[in-house]
Amino acid sequence: MNALRKIVDKVKPHFEKGGKLEKFHSVFDGFETFLFVPNTTSKHGTHIHDAIDSKRTMVMVIIALIPALLFGMYNTGYQHFLAIGQQVSFWETFIFGALAVLPLIVVAYAVGLGIEFIVAQIKGHEIQEGFLVSGMLIPLIVPVDTPLWMVGIATAFAVVFAKEVFGGTGMNIFNVALVTRAFLFFAYPTYMSGDVVWVRTSDTFGLGAGNVVDAYSGATPLGQVATAATTDVQLVNIIKEPISFIDGFLGLIPGSVGETSTLAILIGAVLLLVTRIASWKTMFSVFAGGALMAWIFNVAGPDTAAAHFPWYNHLVFGGFAFGAVFMATDPVTSARTETGKWIYGALIGAMAIIIRVLNPGYPEGMMLAILLLNIFAPLIDHYVVEANIKRRLKRAKTN
Amino acid sequence: MANLIKTTRGLDIAISGAADKILHSFVLSDVVAIVPDHYHAITPKVLVKEGDIIEAGSPVFYNKVCESMKFVSPVSGKVLAVNRGERRKVLNITIERDKEIAYKKFKAANPDSLSGEEIKDLILSAGLWPYIKQRPYDVIANPDIAPKAIFISAFDSAPLAPSSEFVLSKQMDDFQTGLNALSKLTAGKVHLGLRKVTKLYEGLKNVELNYYQGPHPIGNVGVQINKVNPVNKGEVVWTIHAHDVLFIGRLFNKGIVDLKRKLAITGPEVTSPAYYETITGCQIDKLVLGKVTSNVTHRYISGNVLTGLKVTGKSYLDPYATQITVIKEGNDVHELFGWAMPRFNKFSTSGTYFTQIMQKLFGVKHFEFDARVMGGKRAIIMSGEYDKVLPMDILPEFLIKAMITGNIDKMEALGAYEIAPEDVALCEFVCTSKLPLQQIVRSSLDLMRKELE
């Protein structure tokens, strides 16, 4: 550790003002604070500080995403070998999936952090850690077969136009990862929906070559519901075997990389709640709002398959759970008042189900529901704040 | 307990070094200084010059904005120098003190027999007025505007704060006289905030007792005002520290300005924390040298770890300080991968550390602290952090944002009149984004005062 510190101290002057590598000051600072806790002491104000900082906060979210990521890797391999009808070992399955998912992660991080570094240097501020989370979320919410160049372009668009133009992490209105997803969704719709993108049927770096079996169909469960001819739909997996609630909960079904396993997501949710990084109010109310809305459709909805899709299934299929746990709880873009969080979460849940059921074009509604409520979060907060202001005014008058 | 107010919002920081209830004998440096900067928002006009012989209670400078507001010498002796900095700004006035303090005589009188005006004039001319502060703006009270109430907190809930019971004991006569004088200054009530029913405070007159339970900042007078009689637009409330009420009491009982106080010397780096009798203006070195651990760089704080002033050994004790805290500076520490390590010895309200488990399961009472900020400054990211440690009916995050953007209407609407920098000190402590909240509040209150008064 001392040796490492000595090296850092030795190169540090080059990056300071007037040094020959001054242009990379922000990058150097980013790496230095990544290695060592900054030793700057308080100049005024409180003399001691809580040991939490934004690095640790963001890293906790990434750790919470790891179960969903690992499961997503395994599931990518599982779906592939199921599609081509081959029986392979656990590790072969996992490695196939890992190799398929890793390029997405690399591209998302390289593009996003690249832009982050450049902007930090231009503005002369420290590198903000927010993208560490966004960069991990992006690969988990896209279909595995999304072309890498698309991921790159969408990430660049989202980081620049959804974050940096607003002033960086903490200032953004929209969830950066969801803007990436929305950009892909509207710019390249054929790659983001339908039934060919969710399962990798080709080989990955030469691994797992083979032809798909005859019974294969790559539609996601929600896709099947949206296109069903009858109101009573029997969900099937990609080789036409029937599946039910428990399959949706465990997650060996087609879908975006990280969204399929509600179980893996809930493990992450536990970590986020124990560390109190995510608000339990938001998370709970998304599930509650979604369940209630879906139940209302079950009881009194129109005569479609989507409306008759049992309310509990709505919570485990598609991106509902992932959105509720990792996206809706983003503190920056969600409602910031405690009362507001209840309203914000419940509306996301309800809106996601409304889009799923009533919009024939989109089988999934979570992404749009969260983005929509991102817009409304400040309005919700506004009314909570106004209530506080009114209370204060009333107090002044009565006295 | 009739008026009991409870809250669970707040935070008691587990830091070691509270003062034992032992009072050591009188300590005072040979040179004592008065520093105008210790008083917020005044413009000093110096009345003494080098070589003048003065008594304790002789005016040294007055406030140009309010000429009746005098600032007096805490000791008797010879003026050594009036030190000035850039643009002739007065840095300090140093006084070589006499061995025995000679006091300037004021007219001792029973406050009951005096009118409010007479009491006010006496306090102003005796230089004790600066101890009375006002909300809004958290500045020295404007003597021309009568307050709707006066609030005194008889307990300090800040980390390692001195025990008021210990400090006030054996001085209850002076305390009662002080309260009597203060009660004449307002048409409303004088509120005294207490932690629990105690014999010491039984039989106090001219005062309304309120009881409070909860973690820090419940002892902050700002929180107590918010709970009992909040400051609305156009209203003024005065506050004074319980220990400073003694000075006013002594003035009326004995006719002298006696600024002796029991100062707690506290903190993890103090070898045996205890109380010392001293006087404002004492050099810090005289108070702490030989009483602290060796081999580390120290940070001396005049006050507590949350709101105190950063001082050096050569600085002088400020008039409002009731304690001195000594902690490690910590600027020589380089923690590798601190953001990823468990760091069992660190204190945090966040669930990403093991603080609560260490406290509840392993009974750990104290954690390691130094003056490091331990993170980079960011925009506000996490929500709800501040609310948990500010037990007022105020939305701190929105108030702070209004302050950062300089929106005075919004500040006013969101409760800026009720808040003082010390109230947001805990918010600053817990802030993930490491924002200087006390500084933001201070400069915003100054801005408001400038624009609105």
Chain B 399-418, CB below 8 Å of chain A: which residues?
Answer: 413-415
Of B233, B327, B333, the CB nearest to A47: B327
Mean pLDDT of the A75-88 span? 92
- Kindly report the average pLDDT of chain A as a whole number: 91
Q: Given its phi and psi angles, is residue B405 left (phi above 0), alpha (psi -120 to 50 degrees) or beta?
A: alpha
Mean pLDDT of the A280-308 span? 93
* Contact criterion met (CB < 8 Å) for B232 and A399: yes
**Residue B345 in contact with partner chain A when CB distance is under 8 A:** no
- pLDDT of B337: 86
- pLDDT of B1: 54
- Spans of all domains in chain B: 4-15+107-254, 28-97, 373-452
- Which ipTM did the prediction report? 0.92
Sign of CA dihedral B405, B409, B410, B412: positive
Q: pLDDT over 90 for what percent of chain A?
A: 64
Residues of B within 8 A of A42 (CB-CB) are 310, 371-373
pLDDT in tens, B189-220: 999 999 988 888 988 989 999 999 999 999 99
A109-118, A203-212, B265-274: which has the minimum mean pLDDT?
A: A203-212
The strand pair at B44-46 and B59-63 is best described as antiparallel
- pLDDT of B176: 95
Per DSSP (E only), the strands in B234-295 are: 237-239, 260-266, 274-279
Residues with Cβ within 8 Å of residue B129, at least 6 apart in sequence: B69, B70, B123, B140, B141, B143
User: Residue B281: which of B90, B18, B96 has the closest Cα?
Assistant: B96
* Contact criterion met (CB < 8 Å) for A169 and B372: no
Of A46, A55, A389, the CB nearest to B339: A55
- Spans of all domains in chain A: 2-35, 221-386
- pLDDT of B46: 95
Beta bridge partners of residue B92, listed in sequence order: B83
Q: pLDDT over 90 for what percent of chain B?
A: 85
pLDDT in tens, B57-75: 999 999 999 999 999 999 9
pLDDT band at A5 (very low <50, low <70, confident <90, very high): confident
Q: Residue B124 pLDDT more than 60?
A: yes
pLDDT band at B249 (very low <50, low <70, confident <90, very high): very high
Of B307, B325, B372, the CB nearest to A41: B372
Please give, rounded to a whole number of angstroms, the shortest distance from the CA of A13 to a CA of chain B. 17
- pLDDT of A325: 96
pLDDT in tens, B333-361: 888 888 888 888 999 999 889 988 888 88
pLDDT in tens, B392-450: 999 999 999 999 999 999 999 999 999 999 999 999 999 999 999 999 999 999 999 99
- pLDDT of B73: 95
- CATH number of the structural domain B4-15+107-254: 3.40.50
Residues of A within 8 A of B13 (CB-CB) are 48
Q: How many CB atoms lie within 10 A of CB B417?
A: 23
* Contact criterion met (CB < 8 Å) for B434 and A49: yes
Q: Decide if B366 contacts B14 (C-beta within 8 A).
A: yes
* Most A-contacting residue of B228, B305, B324, B374 (CB-CB within 10 A), to test interface: B374
**Residue B188 in contact with partner chain A when CB distance is under 8 A:** no
- pLDDT of B421: 95
* Contact criterion met (CB < 8 Å) for B413 and A393: yes
- pLDDT of A13: 83
Residue bearing the bigger pLDDT, B316 or A123? B316
Please give, rounded to a whole number of angstroms, the shortest distance from the CA of B129 to a CA of chain A. 25
pLDDT in tens, A155-202: 999 999 999 999 888 899 999 999 999 999 999 988 887 778 888 888
* Most A-contacting residue of B160, B301, B334 (CB-CB within 10 A), to test interface: B334
- pLDDT of A399: 59
Residue B177 to residues B110, B165, B250, B378, Cα–Cα distance (Å): 8, 17, 8, 50
- pLDDT of A7: 84
* Contact criterion met (CB < 8 Å) for B334 and A169: no
pLDDT band at B2 (very low <50, low <70, confident <90, very high): low
- pLDDT of A31: 84
Please give, rounded to a whole number of angstroms, the shortest distance from the CA of B282 to a CA of chain A. 22
Residues of B within 8 A of A43 (CB-CB) are 310
pLDDT band at A381 (very low <50, low <70, confident <90, very high): very high
Please give the interface size between A and B, counted as residue pairs whose CB atoms are below 8 Å apart. Answer: 209
- pLDDT of B24: 93
Please give, rounded to a whole number of angstroms, the shortest distance from the CA of A144 to a CA of chain B. 30
* Contact criterion met (CB < 8 Å) for A279 and B232: no
* Most B-contacting residue of A10, A26, A48 (CB-CB within 10 A), to test interface: A48
Q: Decide if A369 contacts A231 (C-beta within 8 A).
A: no
Give chain A's count of helices (H) and strands (E). Answer: 17, 0
- Residue-wise DSSP of B363-379: -------BSB--S----
Q: Residue A128 pLDDT more than 60?
A: yes
pLDDT in tens, B108-123: 889 999 999 999 999 9
User: Residue B416: which of B404, B435, B399 has the closest Cα?
Assistant: B399
Count Cβ atoms within 10 A of the Cβ of residue A7 and give its class: 0-12 exposed, 13-18 middle, 19 or more buried. exposed
Residue bearing the bigger pLDDT, A80 or A228? A80
**Residue B301 in contact with partner chain A when CB distance is under 8 A:** yes
Residues with Cβ within 8 Å of residue B70, at least 6 apart in sequence: B59, B61, B62, B124, B125, B126, B127, B129
* Contact criterion met (CB < 8 Å) for B352 and A396: no
**Residue B170 in contact with partner chain A when CB distance is under 8 A:** no
Q: Label residues B164-186 b or e (16+ Cβ within 10 Å = b).
A: bbbbbeebbebbbbbbbbbbbbb
Task: Identify whether B217 is preceded by a cis peptide bond (ω within 30 of 0).
Answer: yes
**Residue B392 in contact with partner chain A when CB distance is under 8 A:** no
**Residue B192 in contact with partner chain A when CB distance is under 8 A:** no
Q: Residue A64 pLDDT more than 60?
A: yes
CATH topology of domain B28-97: OB fold (Dihydrolipoamide Acetyltransferase, E2P) (2.40.50)
